[in-house]
Structure 1
Amino acid sequence: MTHLPLKVGLAALALFSLGACSAYAQSIGEQEYVNNCASCHGEGGMGDGPLANLMTVPVPDLTVIAANNDGVFPMLEMIQVIDGRTGIRGHGYPMPVWGQQFQADAADVAGPYGSELMVRGRVLELAEYLASIQQ
């Protein structure tokens, strides 16, 4: 019984850490979005970015992905679309192949295996952010 306060304190610390990690991950995903996606998809993800009018195909509203999929956010499909290296390309090819771009960015720093981990992390961060902005 004397260890109960210690256990409660450790549990609270763990919950706080998980919340902090989640907030940190969302801020990284949001930063990735702002840096790489907002120019076309818009700051709020509604397809109204400053470059949207220059696209040859309509820029989709990213806030209704789940609504257009029976209320379920298709995480794996979004990861594949963002990455673009698996043959699933975003909206008819004007979207950059982010997996390839992210890998080029990381290759000198992390080598071939480490750069792939970095690519997957960045793509997952973006997909998680998109899941968080669903209406």
Structure 2
Amino acid sequence: MRLIALVTALGLACPAAAQDAMQGEALFGFYCATCHGTDARGDGPMSPSLVVPPADLSTLAARGEGVFPTLRVIMRIDGRDPLVSHGSMMPVYGDFFAGTDVATKAETGQPIMTSQPIVDLLAYLKALQQE
């Protein structure tokens, strides 16, 4: 208990970053829709030319038995879990999504560090989920 109080007092606890789904939607439209489609169903104009078809991102939670796979999505976007889909690692714009780390929570509640643009993309993708 003393350790928790000490961590909090020293500012070492990482509060979750604010999520902006509208910013995430704008980022998705600019960086992701070319492959994943404007509705995130995997049918973007570049999808026919990819070796691995883009995932339907609107059904991530449904395919995870109702749990959105936050950790997997973060790691795919930031390159920690690479996916070769078009002759190079996904994402093409990985450097854009790098930057100042912020904390968010994985589906298990475990904190994970990522960037603010990825947190915003997560908020947008979570809002898209179909049952």
Q: Same fold (TM over 0.5)?
A: yes
After TM superposition, list the pairs within 5 Å mapping 1:71-110 onto structure 2.
71-84=66-79, 86=80, 88-90=81-83, 92=85, 94-96=89-91, 98-103=93-98
Contact 1:33/1:126 (<8 A) preserved: yes
* Of 104, 107, 116, the match for 1:121: 116
Contact 2:60/2:129 (<8 A) preserved: yes
Check if 1:59 corresponds to 2:54.
yes
**Residue correspondences, number:** 100
RMSD: 2.2
Give the helix-richer structure, 1 or 2.
Answer: 1
Contact 1:26/1:125 (<8 A) preserved: yes
Contact 1:59/1:91 (<8 A) preserved: no
Work out which structure has the larger RCO, using CA pairs closer than 8 Å and 6 or more positions apart in sequence: 2
* Of 36, 39, 42, the match for 1:41: 36
Could you say what secondary structure the match of 1:77 adopts?
helix
**25-34 vs 72-81, which deviates more?**
72-81
Contact 1:45/1:61 (<8 A) preserved: yes
Contact 2:59/2:129 (<8 A) preserved: yes
Q: Give the alignment's TM-score, normalised by structure 2.
A: 0.67
Contact 1:83/1:98 (<8 A) preserved: no
Contact 2:29/2:38 (<8 A) preserved: yes
Give the strand-richer structure, 1 or 2.
Answer: 2
- Offset at residue 102 of structure 1 (A): 3.2
Counterpart Cα distance in 2 of 1:129 and 1:39: 16
- Gaps spanning 5+ residues in structure 1: where? 1-20, 104-114
Q: Give the alignment's TM-score, normalised by structure 1.
A: 0.65
- Gaps spanning 5+ residues in structure 2: where? 1-17, 103-113
